Amino acid sequence: MAFAPSDEPVALKILVAGGFGVGKTTLVGAISEIRPLRTEEVLSDRGVGVDDLDGVEAKTTTTVAMDFGRITIREGLVVYLFGTPGQERFWFMWDELSYGALGAVVLADTRRLTDCFPSIDYFEQRGTPFIVAVNCFDGAERYEPDDVRIALDLDPEIPVMLCDVRRRASAKVVLVTLVEHALKTLTATQR
Amino acid sequence: MTRKEWLDDDAGPVVRPFALIGGRARSSGDDLDLIALITTTGVSPRDRADITPEQATILELAADTASVADIASDLNLALGVVRVLLGDLQDQGLVRVRPPAQVAPLPSARILKEVINGLRAL
């Protein structure tokens, strides 16, 4: 495989997924500068009953605000972090976000473990390398990573770890674990 | 009260997004990835009147390479609008688009190791 010349700029994309309110934006903010991004999306049937369209029935698009983070590794090598929208009705944005992604961090909250099932299914089906990071909320009972692995029925090679998304050092370990896992997956497929 | 106070973010854009792109919703920029990298080609527009003020700003941002997401964030414009503007610039040969590394080709192990070391050093 030919190396790209070192002066060619490279951008990599990492996704941060998980249920609503699990700490995705906090994780991105702990390790990178957060930037706002506006997207205009076609309203789908998913919004029925959620988006009140009374009086604006002709409205077919809605503005979805999302955040992303940027980490400059060196000049010409930048890692972008995108939080996937937590609400189910924004699922249509996932395909665009996950296209070309290096890997994904699935954040889990042990009090609402089922919230991360859809994310895990999605990345398993797409073959996107992912890890599961259990955000340790204050007051939530602590579980061992292996208990979480069994509860989520994960393959043994998928890393499961505990983290505190508010702490930069912890966020760093999460990202390093993911990129190491992606590297392992890449090396395995090239063999 | 100054005029500016009437024109805060809550008031929405003074120029509606569709007006910036001539009412079109489709362009050659539709499929641009969020982290596709945009770089100016060095070609100058034949006529300054051919490009909009927003496109002029894009050319300034892309002089030093910028991603689609960065450009949309800097311009505070919706992604769809920015894609149309970028598609036009690409059609005019003013910018070059580099797809994300994972798409073509795959990032090399060397780059991933560099990322791991870079993250550790943060």
Residue A156 belongs to some domain of the structure:
yes
**Cα four-point dihedral sign A17, A19, A23, A25:** positive
Chain B environment of A12 (Cβ under 8 Å): 35, 100-102, 107, 111, 115
Is A3 inside a domain boundary? no
pLDDT of residue A139: 73
Residue of chain B with shortest Cα separation from A4: B108
Q: Do B100 and A13 touch (CB under 8 A)?
A: yes
Within the 11-70 window of chain B, which residues sit less than 8 Å (CB to CB) from chain A? 17, 33-37, 39, 65, 67, 69-70
Q: What's the complex ipTM?
A: 0.78
Domain count, chain A: 1
Angle at A154 between CA A149 and CA A158, to 5 degrees: 90
In terms of pLDDT, which residue wins out, B120 or B4?
A: B120
Beta strand A130-135 with A103-108 is parallel
Q: How confident is the model at residue A3 (pLDDT cuts 50, 70, 90)?
A: very low
* Range A45-49 average pLDDT: 49
Residue B86 clears pLDDT 80, i.e. is over it: yes
Whether residue A4 lies inside any domain: the answer is: no
Pick B119's closest partner by Cβ from A68, A102, A176: A176
Q: Where are the domains of chain B?
A: 3-120
Check which CATH number belongs to the domain holding A35 and give it. Answer: 3.40.50.300
Domain extent at residue A118:
10-190
Q: What is the mean pLDDT of chain B?
A: 83
Q: Which fold does the domain B3-120 belong to in CATH?
A: Arc Repressor Mutant, subunit A (1.10.10)
CA B70/CA A67 separation, integer angstroms:
11
Res B104: pLDDT: 47
Q: Do A35 and B70 touch (CB under 8 A)?
A: yes
Question: What confidence score (pLDDT) does residue A70 get?
Answer: 94
Sort out which chain B residues have CB atoms less than 8 A from A99's CB and list them: 33, 103
Task: Give the span between the Cα atoms of A95 and A116, in whole angstroms.
Answer: 17
- Considering the domain boundaries, does residue A169 fall inside one? yes
